Amino acid sequence: MVTDAANEACQLHNVQFYNLLPRAIVCSSFGQLHKKLALARDDGTIEIWNMVCAAFLEKTIPGGQGLSIEGLAWAGKRLFSVSLAGTLIEWDLGKIPYAKQSILVTGNAAWCIDVSKDERLLAVGTDGGYINVYRLDNDEITYERILDKQEGRIVCCNFDWTGDFLVTGSADAVRVWDVRNGHAVHKMRTGRANSNQETTVWAVLVLKDFTIVSADSRGKLVIYDGQMGTVLEQHFVSSADLLCLAHSEEKDTIFVGGVEPTIRLYERVPNKGNSGAKIFIRAYYRRGHTHDIKTMTTYGRYLFSGGLDGSLIVTAAQPFVLDIHYPLLPSPASVLATECRLVLLKYINYLEVWTLAPSKKPTQGGVKVLQIRSKKDEHILCAAISPNGRWIVYSTESTVRLFRYDYNRKEPTKSRLLRVQNTPEHLATCYRVDFTRDSNGLFLYDRTDNGTIQYFSCAADENDEWDHKQSIDAGRWLPETIHLSAVSSCSRYLVCADVASSIVVFERTASKWKRSISLPRYKLPPTAIAIQPDRTRLAVAFSDHKLFVYDFNEFTFVFSTYLKLPAPTSSIGGIAFDPRHESAMVLQNGAKIVSLRFGPDVEEEVRQQEDAKQSKKQRPALNGSTDVDGDGGEVSLTKCKLRLVRDASRLVSIEWLGENELVAIEANALSMVEHLPAAFRKKAYGKM
């Protein structure tokens, strides 16, 4: 759909044919040390989210067909996972994440994992009824012991606060184990709703006073005395299975979730009838999911939950927060070929190329002209299409493919796709790829710890051969994973940013690419960057909504401020400079498209409005705050005007197409729902 332009407004291409499938969240774990959330999806992918300020996806460990992650656990900065293949894996989350150690556990498939509060012990529960205990010392995993075998699989486990006892859940029972001698201290039977159907304990939780909480398939929340092994309370929560638990230490609150897509809260309050004793009462509930809730974890006042619908939902109370992160692919998931009006859409294991409607004929767009499936259906790490639409490249963990695409605009069925056979030796697997704006240069970000960027050039002749020109040693200045990059419109500058807040500008000279300048490092990682067309201005946004525009040719800050955005809990995921105005840009703030104007005229206008308001009543600034550059001490522009352009629930990216057209790519909401099973439905009295 293309909207009509009026006055200074632009035409908006509302792309909604990006048919992503839902990917369920299976398990999650929050790392308290560096405030990062790790979650695993049903295709074996592990995602690392930075939760220091506004949440954003920092790193991704690709999965594959047949892979299954059933549990995640942090021990300081170390991340562990267990799978149905019966392996315990420690992941190295360096520049290129990889499996650092892999251990086969006793008892076949592994169902659960937990790390003690002092981070010295790790326990794994298996399908064969064995509990494997390992010691975490000196950055190694050392076998400690196997606890006594029990009948049936270990579904869930949780250490107490001392690390000496382990509580496990299985069929019809909750057990308390003494880790020091390997024997069971207590066995608490759950009972059955039906005599012929066993009760599965899906989640257990141990509180600081050794109170044990369990959630089971009967829909009951059961409270036990861990010292005596007796039942204290029972609460009937739902008529369906309860699958996960979480505990908030701040308010002594328990969160319960399951097949019914409602999170219920139970608060611990003093019992009036018994002085000194405390009981749990149902307080209120939270809604946001549409299907089963499979995992929950907390940090401070925030609750992170995920489930079958694939959405990561962040909620909090007082003040109320509801932030939904839909199961989108890591950015960039879409690339525009501006010269031929094509858009490349990246999926898990295939690519699609679609046409965009002409500005004067809005009904002639939205036609799929090409689909490329990866070899052996491997997960695609990155993909790109050249601005002229002639070249397409993608990479998986094992292969990289370069294609020449001869697109016939008049008759798309006669277009040709040819794989480039004689590729240079350095054309190896990568995790990120960029074309230059003239379509004659290609950057491949190597999947090695060296952080090398391979640069290729296409010969300007009939053969169209690609040659390797240079290996850019970017690892000298970018110690972490490069998650953001931008190429200038003149194809002379390349800007890269990593998750360690390093931002480097590379410049192409007559012979090769050289580092031009490294920007001052900020305390938080950037979430979006963009280079202004035909200028040497770089816009950078950070997770705390700090935004600055830096001229790397004059070494000065043009604009710098902290934004008060419509979606304060969402990060700035994209920046697109307005080609019609020197001091204007469009921001992607979560699911919202926001226009921003700055400059001397806006600065003066905003200050006059503030002075008029402060003369009547003392109030803070409307938007922005005074900012002084750290290097030269010069005061840059700090005031701006924001305006909400559009609210798109599943916004993927924004990019300008020409002078007066903005392309907003959204994931199709219907495709994310229609492939899900039927949601739990509870019959309400008096309703159909």
DSSP letter (8 states) at residue 53: S
Tell me, yes or no, whether 507 and 575 share the same domain. yes
Tell me, yes or no, whether 317 and 338 share the same domain. no
The reported pLDDT for the residue numbered 123 is 97
Mean pLDDT of 215-237: 94
Tell me, yes or no, whether 227 and 305 share the same domain. yes
Mean pLDDT of 436-451: 89
In a domain, 654, yes or no: no
In a domain, 632, yes or no: no
**pLDDT over 90 (residue 318):** no
Q: How confident is the model at residue 469 (pLDDT cuts 50, 70, 90)?
A: very high
Tell me, yes or no, whether 498 and 593 share the same domain. yes
Q: How confident is the model at residue 504 (pLDDT cuts 50, 70, 90)?
A: very high
**pLDDT over 50 (residue 431):** yes
The reported pLDDT for the residue numbered 146 is 95
For the CA atoms of the chain, what is the radius of gyration? 27
Count of C-beta atoms within a 10 Å radius of residue 243: 23
| C-alpha torsion sign, points 55, 60, 64, 68 | negative
In a domain, 683, yes or no: no
The reported pLDDT for the residue numbered 532 is 95
In a domain, 625, yes or no: no
Asked whether 592 and 643 are in contact (CB, 8 A), the reply is: no
Tell me, yes or no, whether 376 and 492 share the same domain. no
Mean pLDDT of 466-475: 92
**pLDDT over 80 (residue 673):** yes
Tell me, yes or no, whether 96 and 173 share the same domain. yes
What confidence tens digit (pLDDT) does each residue in 564-595 have? 988 888 999 999 999 988 899 999 999 899 99
Q: What angle do CA 339, 341, 346 make, to 5 degrees?
A: 110
In a domain, 670, yes or no: no
What confidence tens digit (pLDDT) does each residue in 552-570 have? 999 999 999 999 988 888 9
Tell me, yes or no, whether 388 and 315 share the same domain. no
The reported pLDDT for the residue numbered 616 is 60
- CA dist., res. 636 & res. 629, Å (int): 7
**pLDDT over 70 (residue 617):** no
Q: How many CA atoms lie within 13 A of 653 on its CB side?
A: 20
**pLDDT over 90 (residue 677):** no
Asked whether 284 and 297 are in contact (CB, 8 A), the reply is: no
Max mean pLDDT range (35-39, 248-252, 356-360, 667-671) = 35-39
Q: What angle do CA 626, 629, 633 make, to 5 degrees?
A: 105
Of the three residues 473, 491, 526, the one that is the final residue of a domain is 473
Strands of the sheet containing 537-542, edge to edge, are 526-531, 537-542, 546-551, 556-562
What confidence tens digit (pLDDT) does each residue in 382-427 have? 999 999 999 999 999 999 999 999 988 888 778 899 998 888 888 9
Higher pLDDT, 210 or 685: 210
Q: How confident is the model at residue 436 (pLDDT cuts 50, 70, 90)?
A: very high
Tell me, yes or no, whether 533 and 457 share the same domain. no
Partner residues linked to 497 by β-bridges = 484, 503
CATH number of the domain bearing residue 483: 2.130.10.10
Mean pLDDT of 612-628: 55
Tell me, yes or no, whether 348 and 494 share the same domain. no
Of the three residues 447, 473, 499, the one that is the final residue of a domain is 473
Tell me, yes or no, whether 251 and 231 share the same domain. yes
- CA neighbor of 335 nearest in space, from 402, 403, 391, 416: 391
The reported pLDDT for the residue numbered 610 is 74
In a domain, 661, yes or no: no
Asked whether 482 and 58 are in contact (CB, 8 A), the reply is: no
Mean predicted lDDT score pLDDT of the chain: 89
- CA neighbor of 396 nearest in space, from 423, 426, 364, 373: 373
Q: How confident is the model at residue 359 (pLDDT cuts 50, 70, 90)?
A: confident
In a domain, 627, yes or no: no
- Which residue range forms the structural domain that includes residue 528? 479-611+637-649
In a domain, 685, yes or no: no
Tell me, yes or no, whether 308 and 360 share the same domain. no
Tell me, yes or no, whether 266 and 356 share the same domain. no
Mean pLDDT of 637-650: 86
**pLDDT over 50 (residue 630):** no
Higher pLDDT, 613 or 15: 15
The reported pLDDT for the residue numbered 575 is 96
What confidence tens digit (pLDDT) does each residue in 40-67 have? 999 999 999 999 999 999 999 998 877 8
For 379-432, the DSSP string reads PP-EEEE-TTS-EEEEE-SS-EEEEEEE--SS-GGG-EEEE--S--TT---EEE
The reported pLDDT for the residue numbered 624 is 57
Of the three residues 473, 498, 533, the one that is the final residue of a domain is 473
Asked whether 201 and 174 are in contact (CB, 8 A), the reply is: yes
DSSP letter (8 states) at residue 602: H
Q: How confident is the model at residue 133 (pLDDT cuts 50, 70, 90)?
A: very high
Asked whether 198 and 155 are in contact (CB, 8 A), the reply is: no
Domain count along the chain: 3
**Rounded to the nearest 5°, which phi and psi values hold at 371?**
-140, 130
Determine which of 300-309, 363-372, 399-408, 587-596 has the lowest per-residue pLDDT on average. 363-372
What confidence tens digit (pLDDT) does each residue in 146-178 have? 999 998 899 999 999 999 999 999 999 999 999
Mean pLDDT of 675-688: 72
- Please give the share of the chain, as a percent, with pLDDT higher than 90: 67
Task: Report the first-to-last Cα separation within the chain, whole angstroms.
Answer: 37
What confidence tens digit (pLDDT) does each residue in 57-107 have? 999 999 887 788 999 999 999 999 999 999 999 999 988 899 999 999 998
Strands of the sheet containing 69-75, edge to edge, are 69-75, 78-83, 87-92, 98-104
